[in-house]
Amino acid sequence: MRAAFVVLLLSIVAVAQDHSPSAPNTSAPSTAETTARPGEITLAAGTKVPLALKQAISTKNAREGDAVYAETTFPVVQNERIVIPPHTYVQGRISSIKRPGRVKGRAEVLIHFTTLIYPSGYTVLLPGAVENVPGAEHAQMKGDEGTIREEGQKGKDVGTVASTAGTGAAIGALSGAGLKGAGIGAGVGGAVGTAIALLSKGNDVRLEAGSTLEMVIQRPITLDGNRIPRARQD
């Protein structure tokens, strides 16, 4: 009888425990959830990387989708460590091309960099855009989307009109009509100069091989520090 009572009591206790509210989980999250993996390095958005082109690019013959090849010219350092050494390869593509027009419209080229290739073969995908073109003589940046634009030839067009107008004035004066002839000649010459300026095609954007660019990383990227060789200590 006593044994049966003990069994019944234990059964009641077990049922009560099954229906009790669950205790909150107060254990700390795993280390993998709270810290980065050992050796990971994060490059912040806005990091600038100086580059040199390995091939010439011109809006005269380039097409959308063409590959772009460059390499870094100066080390990128973070926390006293070189994370992108010089001579690291950078690959990209031409995203958009605009050829110069005869009446208006400057030549433009939009380049996006997509891949970082270390000398060891370690490859990282990246979102990179052109920030500056210090190595281009007749090109400038347009807005903040990374478009390289031909600087324009407005001064050249004005010079063409003025030159032809002056020549026309001289011819009109020499024809014997005096000041009246000079005025007529200047008008005709100016009209011809304007026509020449309008019919002249604008300049192409041309970046020679070796031209220096400045790439900016548009979003944070994660590097595996264990695969980036450390600089040798002499």
CA distance 201 to 141: 21
Model confidence band, residue 211 (pLDDT cutoffs 50, 70, 90): very high
Residue 191 has pLDDT above 70, yes or no: no
CA distance 231 to 35: 26
Instruction: Give the pTM.
Output: 0.62
Whether 11 is covered by a domain: the verdict is: no
Write down the pLDDT at residue 136. 65
> The domain containing residue 42 runs over which residues?
38-152+204-227
Whether 22 is covered by a domain: the verdict is: no
Please count the helices (runs of H) and the strands (runs of E) in the chain.
4, 14
Whether 59 is covered by a domain: the verdict is: yes
For 79, other C-beta atoms within 10 Å of its C-beta total 7
Q: Which residues lie across from 68 on neighbouring strands?
A: 92
Number of domains in the chain: 2
The CA-based angle 5-10-13, given to 5 degrees, is 130
What integer is the mean pLDDT of 213-227? 95
Contact between residue 43 and residue 83 where contact means Cβ atoms under 8 Å apart: yes
Write down the pLDDT at residue 135. 66
> Does residue 102 sit in the same domain as residue 178?
no
> Does residue 78 sit in the same domain as residue 117?
yes
> Does residue 102 sit in the same domain as residue 124?
yes
Whether 6 is covered by a domain: the verdict is: no
> Does residue 101 sit in the same domain as residue 163?
no
> Does residue 177 sit in the same domain as residue 223?
no
Q: What is the 3-state secondary structure (H, E, C) of 196-228?
A: HHHHCCCCCCEECCCCEEEEEECCCEEEEHHHC
For 160, phi then psi, to 5°, come to: -65, -45
> Which pLDDT tens digit goes with each residue over 24-60?
443 434 433 334 577 899 999 999 999 999 999 999 9
Specify the higher pLDDT residue, 134 or 210: 210
> Does residue 45 sit in the same domain as residue 125?
yes
pLDDT, averaged across the chain: 73
> Does residue 134 sit in the same domain as residue 182?
no
Residue 86 has pLDDT above 80, yes or no: yes
Contact between residue 115 and residue 123 where contact means Cβ atoms under 8 Å apart: yes
CATH of the domain at 145: 2.40.128.260
Whether 21 is covered by a domain: the verdict is: no
> Does residue 127 sit in the same domain as residue 187?
no
